[in-house]
Chain A
Amino acid sequence: MARAVTTQHKTIATAAAWIVALLIFFPILYTIITSFKSEQEAIQGFNLIPSGTTESYAEVQAQSGYFKFFLNSVILSVGSTLLAILIAVPAAWSMAFSPTKRTKDILMWMLSTKMMPAVAVLFPIYLIFRDSGLLDSRIGLTVMLMLINLPIVVWMLYTYFREIPGEILEAARMDGASLWNEIIYVLTPMAVPGIASTMLLNIILAWNEAFWTIRLTTTNAAPLTAFISSFSSPQGLFWAKLSAASTLAIAPILIMGWFSQKQLVRGLTFGAVK
Chain B
Amino acid sequence: MKLRTLTLGLLSASALAFAAHAESITIATVNNGDMVRMQKLTDDFTKANPDIQLNWVTLEENVLRERVTTDIATKGGQYDVMTIGTYEVPIWAKQSWLLPLDKLGDDYDVKDIIPAIAGGLSVDGKLYAAPFYGESSFVMYRKDLMEKAGLKMPDAPTWDFIKQAADKMTDRANGVNGVCLRGKAGWGENMAFLTAMSNSFGARWFDENWKPQFDQPEWKKTLQFYVDLMKADGPEGASSNGFNENLALFQQGKCGMWIDATVAASFVSDPKASKVADKVGYALAPDNGLGKRGNWLWAWSLAIPAGTQKADAAEKFVSWATSKHYAELVAAKEGWANVPPGTRSSLYANAEYQKAAPFAKMTLDSINAADPTHPTVKAVPYVGVQFVAIPEFQGLGTTVGQLFSAALAGQSSVDDALKQAQDAATAAMTEGGYIK
- At the interface, yes or no: B36 with Cβ under 8 Å from chain A? yes
Does B58 contact A219, Cβ atoms closer than 8 Å?
no
In the assembled complex, which residues on chain A have CB atoms less than 8 Å from the CB atom of B76? 126, 130, 135
Does B60 contact A232, Cβ atoms closer than 8 Å?
yes
Known A-B contacts A219-B57, A232-B60; the reply to A238 vs B70 at CB < 8 A is no
Q: Specify which of B58, B71, B264, B273 is in contact with A64 (CB 8 Å cutoff).
A: B58
Interface residues of A in 103-129 (CB under 8 A from B): 122-123, 126-127
**Binary A-proximity of B60-82 (CB < 8 A = 1, otherwise 0):** 11010011001100111111000
Taking CB as reference atom, which chain B residue is nearest A38? Answer: B273
Task: State A17–B63 Cα separation when bound (angstroms).
Answer: 37
Task: State A238–B243 Cα separation when bound (angstroms).
Answer: 12
In the assembled complex, which residues on chain B have CB atoms less than 8 Å from the CB atom of A236? 32-33, 244, 247, 267
Q: Name the interface size band of chain B.
A: 35 or more
Taking CB as reference atom, which chain A residue is nearest B272? Answer: A40
**Binary A-proximity of B67-99 (CB < 8 A = 1, otherwise 0):** 100110011111100000000000000000000
- At the interface, yes or no: A237 with Cβ under 8 Å from chain B? yes
- Which of A21-29, A223-231, A246-254 faces chain B? A223-231
- At the interface, yes or no: B56 with Cβ under 8 Å from chain A? yes
Known A-B contacts A135-B76, A235-B243, A236-B33; the reply to A230 vs B59 at CB < 8 A is yes
Interface residues of A in 128-151 (CB under 8 A from B): 130, 135-136
In the assembled complex, which residues on chain A have CB atoms less than 8 Å from the CB atom of B70? 122-123, 126, 215
**Binary B-proximity of A161-188 (CB < 8 A = 1, otherwise 0):** 0000000000000000000000000000
- At the interface, yes or no: B357 with Cβ under 8 Å from chain A? no
Does B67 contact A234, Cβ atoms closer than 8 Å?
no
- At the interface, yes or no: A190 with Cβ under 8 Å from chain B? no
Q: Specify which of A39, A43, A214 is in contact with B59 (CB 8 Å cutoff).
A: A214
Known A-B contacts A44-B248, A233-B31; the reply to A214 vs B67 at CB < 8 A is yes
In the assembled complex, which residues on chain A have CB atoms less than 8 Å from the CB atom of B273? 39-40, 237
Interface residues of B in 251-270 (CB under 8 A from A): 251-252, 261, 263-264, 267
In the assembled complex, which residues on chain A have CB atoms less than 8 Å from the CB atom of B267? 236
Task: State A44–B248 Cα separation when bound (angstroms).
Answer: 8
Does A219 contact B74, Cβ atoms closer than 8 Å?
no
Task: State A124–B66 Cα separation when bound (angstroms).
Answer: 15
Task: State A222–B67 Cα separation when bound (angstroms).
Answer: 13
CB distance from A56 to the nearest CB of B (A): 13
- At the interface, yes or no: B26 with Cβ under 8 Å from chain A? yes
Taking CB as reference atom, which chain B residue is nearest A136? Answer: B78
In the assembled complex, which residues on chain B have CB atoms less than 8 Å from the CB atom of A63? 36, 39
In the assembled complex, which residues on chain B have CB atoms less than 8 Å from the CB atom of A44? 248, 252
Task: State A123–B67 Cα separation when bound (angstroms).
Answer: 11
Taking CB as reference atom, which chain A residue is nearest B78? Answer: A218
Q: Name the interface size band of chain A.
A: 20 to 34
Does A229 contact B59, Cβ atoms closer than 8 Å?
yes
In the assembled complex, which residues on chain B have CB atoms less than 8 Å from the CB atom of A222? 57
Known A-B contacts A63-B36, A233-B32; the reply to A130 vs B63 at CB < 8 A is no
CB distance from B217 to the nearest CB of A (A): 34
- At the interface, yes or no: B55 with Cβ under 8 Å from chain A? yes
Known A-B contacts A44-B248, A214-B67, A215-B67; the reply to A234 vs B61 at CB < 8 A is yes
In the assembled complex, which residues on chain B have CB atoms less than 8 Å from the CB atom of A215? 66-67, 70
CB distance from B276 to the nearest CB of A (A): 13
In the assembled complex, which residues on chain A have CB atoms less than 8 Å from the CB atom of B78? 135-136, 218
Taking CB as reference atom, which chain B residue is nearest A215? Answer: B67
CB distance from A67 to the nearest CB of B (A): 16
- At the interface, yes or no: B30 with Cβ under 8 Å from chain A? yes
In the assembled complex, which residues on chain A have CB atoms less than 8 Å from the CB atom of B60? 229-230, 232
Known A-B contacts A63-B36, A218-B26; the reply to A126 vs B74 at CB < 8 A is yes
Q: Specify which of B31, B32, B79, B188 is in contact with A218 (CB 8 Å cutoff).
A: B79
In the assembled complex, which residues on chain A have CB atoms less than 8 Å from the CB atom of B75? 130
Task: State A233–B29 Cα separation when bound (angstroms).
Answer: 11
In the assembled complex, which residues on chain A have CB atoms less than 8 Å from the CB atom of B26? 218-219
Does A233 contact B59, Cβ atoms closer than 8 Å?
no
CB distance from A215 to the nearest CB of B (A): 6
Q: Specify which of A39, A218, A231, A235 is in contact with B57 (CB 8 Å cutoff).
A: A218
Does A230 contact B247, Cβ atoms closer than 8 Å?
no
In the assembled complex, which residues on chain A have CB atoms less than 8 Å from the CB atom of B67? 214-215
In the assembled complex, which residues on chain B have CB atoms less than 8 Å from the CB atom of A231? 31
Taking CB as reference atom, which chain B residue is nearest A122? Answer: B70
Does B74 contact A230, Cβ atoms closer than 8 Å?
no
In the assembled complex, which residues on chain A have CB atoms less than 8 Å from the CB atom of B55? 218-219
In the assembled complex, which residues on chain B have CB atoms less than 8 Å from the CB atom of A126? 70-71, 74, 76
**Most central of A64, A122, A232 by chain B CB within 10 Å:** A232
Taking CB as reference atom, which chain A residue is nearest B244? Answer: A237
Does B244 contact A235, Cβ atoms closer than 8 Å?
yes
CB distance from B287 to the nearest CB of A (A): 25
Known A-B contacts A122-B70, A127-B74; the reply to A234 vs B243 at CB < 8 A is yes
In the assembled complex, which residues on chain B have CB atoms less than 8 Å from the CB atom of A235? 32-33, 243-244, 261, 263-264
In the assembled complex, which residues on chain B have CB atoms less than 8 Å from the CB atom of A237? 244, 247-248, 273
Task: State A92–B264 Cα separation when bound (angstroms).
Answer: 58
**Most central of B33, B76, B267 by chain A CB within 10 Å:** B76
**Binary A-proximity of B220-264 (CB < 8 A = 1, otherwise 0):** 000000000000000000000001110110011000000001011
CB distance from A194 to the nearest CB of B (A): 37
In the assembled complex, which residues on chain B have CB atoms less than 8 Å from the CB atom of A232? 31, 60-61
Taking CB as reference atom, which chain B residue is nearest A219? Answer: B55
Task: State A126–B247 Cα separation when bound (angstroms).
Answer: 38
In the assembled complex, which residues on chain B have CB atoms less than 8 Å from the CB atom of A135? 76, 78
Task: State A126–B251 Cα separation when bound (angstroms).
Answer: 43
Interface residues of B in 167-201 (CB under 8 A from A): 188
Task: State A234–B33 Cα separation when bound (angstroms).
Answer: 10
Does B32 contact A234, Cβ atoms closer than 8 Å?
yes
Q: Can you offer 9 A-B residue contacts whose CB atoms are under 8 A?
A: A40-B248, A123-B70, A126-B70, A226-B59, A230-B31, A232-B61, A233-B30, A233-B31, A234-B31
**Residues of B participating in the A interface, judged by any CB pair closer than 8 Å:** 26, 28, 30-33, 36, 39, 55-61, 63, 66-67, 70-71, 74-79, 188, 243-245, 247-248, 251-252, 261, 263-264, 267, 273
**Residues of A participating in the B interface, judged by any CB pair closer than 8 Å:** 39-40, 43-44, 63-64, 122-123, 126-127, 130, 135-136, 214-215, 218-219, 222, 226, 229-238
